[in-house]
Amino acid sequence: MATEPFSAVEVIRAKRDGAVLSDEMIDWTIDAYTRGVIAEEQMSALNMAIFFQGMNRSEISRWTTAMINSGERMDFSSLAAPHGQKLPTTDKHSTGGVGDKITLPLAPLVASFGVAVPQLSGRGLGHTGGTLDKLEAIPGWRANLSNEELFSQLSNVGAVICAAGAGLAPADKKLYALRDVTATVEAIPLIASSIMSKKIAEGTGSLVLDVKVGSGAFMKDEVMARELAETMVNLGTDAGVNTVALLTNMETPLGLTAGNAIEVEESVEVLAGGGPEDVVELTVALAVEMLAGAGVHDVDVRAALQNGRAMDSWRAMIKAQGGDPDAALPVAKESHTVVAQAEGVLVKLDAMDIGLAAWTLGAGRARKEDSVQAGAGVRMHVKPGALVRRGQPIATLLTDTPEKMARAIELVEHAIIIGSEDDRPDMRLIMDRIAAS
């Protein structure tokens, strides 16, 4: 049996005592954990030591590289359009929020400018929805593509939203499952390396990160969100991926829907030149960043939503994956509308409460193997900042399982705060832009 160059205990002790882990130690740790040489309890202890002691920039970078090297790396450098010209690639990652359907209009919008978007996405877990769950509300649409199908769709259509294969950063899959059950998810070095190992392994040429801040986000606090964004931007840049981040507000859901089919419906409204202004604003801002990262400047992104160009790209993308863009979307069997109990300014419509309500109604899952209801969710009728009358509808709850309604109503009632003009909320959506330092 080959001897191991380190022992798990010495690595844990070094980090526990605040030492900087050497490159060799980090490479060995990720490899030995993937091979099962480091036991789960030892990795738990190391994660907790990292949680308390942190990691410096070079440790995080090496940890990320080691996770990338645990699996396959995709390469889109040979990607070409049908008439032969090279296609630049770009991608977006959101740290997760409520009503965050932006990927749906964004990928076809960016692709309509001749930049390929390989958007490898996940399913929802907990109060934030998953892009694949939303798209699966479209009859016939399929999330799993082979690498050949992915490449062919990128060349022919330009945009793909599909499930990430199991081969990308497998060390992260094992590590993330462990962090989830050992209260070590919220460590910035671990979150940043987890997200960026998958994005770098995916092989995109440029990347835009949407780092959410607020009640419905991972990071409730702006200082922490900023640190996470800076860490990820530096990781991407050091790995040769042109990376920027936007810090965006997640105190209230994006748009007026949180669910699956209802979020697809709202995305299609945006692609048809309408839709809620916050969804349009963020879609356009992220598209401008993605296009700039891929070398496309001075284009009228908003016009592509108005003139049908992005919609054509959406329809081609959905059809290429077996979906029928004209099919009616599933509708929930039961609904209940929550109304304003007072007159005044809607000061708060809390993202976390609305996300939990949508999840309770069946739009999300508690365990990975659960299925989701396509029609379930929360349709909001007003945004914070609006003046409301007593009795005015605030939100309609949708579900196929009426026994879930009472708990969801409580959550939505808890989400609503009505106050006076003096309490008017700060509705700024894009809080900052963070580039490499």
Residue pair 363/127 in contact (Cβ under 8 Å)? The answer is no
Q: Quickly tell me which residue has 């400018």 as its tokens.
A: 113
Which tokens belong to 109? 């919008």
- Write the binding mask 178 to 197 for ligand URA: x where contact by CB under 6 A, - elsewhere: -------x----xx--xx--
One-character DSSP codes across 242-264? EEEEEEEE-SS-STTEEESHHHH
Could you tell me the smallest distance in angstroms from the CB atom of residue 123 to ligand URA?
Answer: 12
Separation of first and last alpha carbons in the chain: 45
Select 11 or 196, whichever has its Cβ closest to ligand URA: 196
Residue 225, phi then psi, degrees to nearest 5: -60, -40
Select 226 or 348, whichever has its Cβ closest to ligand URA: 226
Select 176 or 308, whichever has its Cβ closest to ligand URA: 176
What is the footprint of ligand URA within residues 112-131 (CB under 6 A)?
none
Could you tell me the smallest distance in angstroms from the CB atom of residue 254 to ligand URA?
Answer: 18
What is the footprint of ligand URA within residues 365-394 (CB under 6 A)?
none
Which sign does the torsion angle of CA 201, 207, 212, 216 carry?
A: negative
d(CA 218, CA 20): 27
Which tokens belong to 351? 């993202």
Which tokens belong to 26? 């980090």
* Amino acid letter, residue 121: S
Residue of 70, 112, 121, 194 marked catalytic: 194
Which tokens belong to 418? 């009505």
Residue pair 400/373 in contact (Cβ under 8 Å)? The answer is yes
Q: Is 220 in the site for ligand URA (CB under 6 A)?
A: no
Residue of 91, 172, 210, 350 marked catalytic: 172
One-character DSSP codes across 278-311? HHHHHHHHHHHHHHHHTT--S--HHHHHHSSHHH
179 counts as catalytic: yes
Residue pair 305/280 in contact (Cβ under 8 Å)? The answer is yes
Residue 206, phi then psi, degrees to nearest 5: -145, 160
Looking at 68-148, which runs of residues are DSSP E strands?
90-94, 117-121
For residue 389, give the 3-state DSSP assignment: coil
Residue pair 94/212 in contact (Cβ under 8 Å)? The answer is yes
70 counts as catalytic: no
Could you tell me the smallest distance in angstroms from the CB atom of residue 96 to ligand URA?
Answer: 7
Select 195 or 320, whichever has its Cβ closest to ligand URA: 195
Q: β-pairing, 117-121 with 159-163?
A: parallel
For residue 116, give the 3-state DSSP assignment: strand
Select 213 or 291, whichever has its Cβ closest to ligand URA: 213
Could you tell me the smallest distance in angstroms from the CB atom of residue 402 to ligand URA?
Answer: 33
Could you tell me the smallest distance in angstroms from the CB atom of residue 191 to ligand URA?
Answer: 4
Select 67 or 115, whichever has its Cβ closest to ligand URA: 67
Residue of 198, 226, 315, 404 marked catalytic: 198
Select 108 or 118, whichever has its Cβ closest to ligand URA: 118
What is the footprint of ligand URA within residues 222-261 (CB under 6 A)?
none
198 counts as catalytic: yes
Could you tell me the smallest distance in angstroms from the CB atom of residue 102 to ligand URA?
Answer: 16
17 counts as catalytic: no
Residue nearest to ligand URA (CB): 194
Could you tell me the smallest distance in angstroms from the CB atom of residue 412 to ligand URA?
Answer: 26
What number of chain residues touch ligand URA (CB under 6 A)? 6
What is the footprint of ligand URA within residues 130-189 (CB under 6 A)?
176, 185
Give me the active site residues, please.
93, 172, 179, 194, 198
Positions that interact with ligand URA (CB under 6 A) = 176, 185, 190-191, 194-195
